[in-house]
Amino acid sequence: MLSIGLTGGIGTGKSLVSNLLSDLGATVVNADLLGHEAYLPGTIGFDLVVDAFGDKVVGDDGTVDRTKLGPIVFSSPENMAKLNSIMHPLIHDMIQTQLAEYSSNGTDLVVVEAAVLIEANWQALFDEIWVVTSEREIVIERLKERNSLTREDAIARIDSQMSQAERIEHSNVVVTNDGTTVELADNVKKIWNTRVVNK
């Protein structure tokens, strides 16, 4: 089984690329969704997060309320580091378990989309790392349109993340997304034929 870790900065088009890979026949896992599962009541993740940040992050429905947790961690690098130290190992183990299950079931190719793949140091889980990239100005315009951000807020979001150049250093494949969706689909198809079909 070939396992691919798919990552990239905000607004580069990771989810679009994972959808295109799914259309081509890949099994796709979204690490963000696994992260949501890791917060559910009754899990060790829930207990650790509540222990770390208090009952104030629990919503009326008894689950971790990300709208309450968000301001606490985004306003403090220390709190963000604390949350990451809890969640990253848990999500790592969930990804590892899923990959093992797919491998034992005879799945040929699994793509795991993970925004923080490199920051969390999950590279060893995968055979290849694919990084989606876009020019900075294109990402700024996407974030202004998609997230209704000001230019300044969009730049702040981009600059708060690992740089694109650093991600590329860790990659086996760079998926460039600077044009239309059709051009991206063509690009992904070419990479798929080279790296998957004809490997």
pTM: 0.92
Q: List pLDDT tens digits, range 155-187.
A: 988 988 899 999 999 999 999 999 999 999 999
Q: How far apart are CA 93 and CA 86, in angstroms?
A: 12
Q: List pLDDT tens digits, range 19-43.
A: 999 999 999 999 999 988 998 999 9
Question: What pLDDT sits at residue 199?
Answer: 64
Q: How many domains does the chain have?
A: 1
Question: What pLDDT sits at residue 198?
Answer: 77
Measure Cα distances from 37 to 45, 87, 96 in Å. Answer: 9, 11, 15
CATH code, domain carrying 112: 3.40.50.300
Range of the structural domain that residue 185 is part of: 2-197
Q: How confident is the model at residue 115 (pLDDT cuts 50, 70, 90)?
A: very high
Sheet-wide strand order for 2-8: 27-30, 109-113, 2-8, 128-133, 173-176
Q: How far apart are CA 174 and CA 40, in angstroms?
A: 34
Strand-strand pairing, 173-176 and 27-30? unpaired
Q: List pLDDT tens digits, range 43-79.
A: 999 999 999 999 999 999 999 998 899 889 888 889 9
**Which among 4, 14, 3 is positioned nearest to 164, based on CA atoms?**
14
Question: What pLDDT sits at residue 70?
Answer: 85
Instruction: Give me the residue label for tokens 């104030």.
Output: 56
DSSP 105-156: TT-SEEEEE-TTTTTTT-GGG-SEEEEEE--HHHHHHHHHHHS---HHHHHH
Q: How far apart are CA 82 and CA 54, in angstroms?
A: 13
Q: How far apart are CA 41 and CA 77, in angstroms?
A: 25
